[in-house]
Structure 1
Amino acid sequence: MRTGGDGMKRECVPGRSWAIIIMQGLLSIGAIFGGGALIIDPSGNLVQMPKSLLEHSPFGSFLIPGIILLLVLGVMPAIIAISLFRRTHWEIGEKLNPYSNQYWGWTFSLYTGFALIIWIMAQVYWIQHVSVIHLVYFAWGVGIQIVTLMPDVQRRYAR
């Protein structure tokens, strides 16, 4: 605990908690831009993605993947990063949290790790190719889960 200039006590955010906040925040920024670009131009031309990538997928354009990317891996991680920093209350988050002893933002951090891993696995399956960026984002999803599950991070977000 620290005392701020206003005399109020402030809780310091431990190092690994900062790591998960930053991981969520950076994921959010990239997915908001990527998803937004795919929504603006569902052909994929804006981000130089050939339509042939959709050949084995259930999608005719990049619109639905763009919406999913924007909301699930863009907006949600932004909300999670803010919540992990500020510990905000969210009724829906609490209802979707099966861990009654943990803050909902901590649980949703795990959800994001799973969502990112599933997103990458689906991409690889549908485009039938693995590139370095897939490996990086797959590792990012696993990393989010590892950091979220570290004992000091779990303690930080315990109720």
Structure 2
Amino acid sequence: MKLVHRKSFACYLLLSLHIFLAIGAFIGGGALLIFPDGSILSLPLEILQNSPFQNYFLPGLILFSAFGIFPLITAIFLSSKKPIKAFEKLSIYKSMHWSWNFSFYIGIMLIIWIMVQILIMQAVVFIHIFYILLGFFIIVITFLSSVRAFCLIN
């Protein structure tokens, strides 16, 4: 008999956080791709003086893909739990669905992304704190027992 776990409130919350992150990254990253001078978001190019970037195009591309596309795909497959062999190979926790592993990765990547921004800008603003906390909450919720039970590979 196969044990089936239903999605808990924590599962829905995790899906919502990934979708929230993706929407924000699509908007912010897309804006930086279209306006790489940062003008649309009131980001002066001087912020990049301690970085390897001349403009915001590459950071926008990273934001759009790593924190837009990646979390959206993860949310879709967290919900459906469909296997993808290529992604399964990138899983650290082999007993868990690959999307559960990717949820953990996204939380870690988000915290690192914001820490790098803080180092480059040499300043901390509210949005940095907000997104570090979002990354932390994604990690914590990913490891909740009800989420782990749902994402366990039977």
TM-score by length of 2: 0.94
- Unaligned stretches of 5+ in structure 1? 1-9
The share of aligned pairs that are identical, in percent, is: 35
> Residues of 2 paired with 1:145 and 1:58: CA distance?
29
Q: Does 1:154 align with 2:148?
A: yes
* Paired positions, count: 150
Q: 41, 44, 49: which is aligned to 2:35?
A: 41
Offset, 1:88 = 2.0
Secondary structure at the counterpart of residue 71 of structure 2: helix
Q: Which residue number corresponds to residue 123 of structure 1?
A: 117
TM-score by length of 1: 0.91
Q: Which has the larger radius of gyration?
A: 1
> Residues of 1 paired with 2:118 and 2:23: CA distance?
22
Q: Which residue number corresponds to residue 17 of structure 1?
A: 11
Larger RCO (alpha carbons 8 Å, 6+ apart): 2
Q: Does 1:67 align with 2:76?
A: no
> Residues of 1 paired with 2:10 and 2:19: CA distance?
14
Q: Which amino acid letter does the alignment assign opposite residue 47 of structure 1?
A: L
Q: Which amino acid letter does the alignment assign opposite residue 126 of structure 1?
A: I
Where in structure 1 do 4 or more consecutive aligned residues deviate above 2 Å?
Answer: none
> Residues of 1 paired with 2:110 and 2:32: CA distance?
17
- RMSD over aligned CA atoms reads 1.2
Offset, 1:11 = 6.6
> Residues of 1 paired with 2:86 and 2:55: CA distance?
31
Q: Does 1:29 align with 2:23?
A: yes
Secondary structure at the counterpart of residue 91 of structure 2: coil
Task: Show CA shifts across 1:70-125 (max 9, x none).
Answer: 11011000001111111122222111012110000000000000110000000000
Q: 130, 133, 146: which is aligned to 1:136?
A: 130
- Unaligned stretches of 5+ in structure 2? none
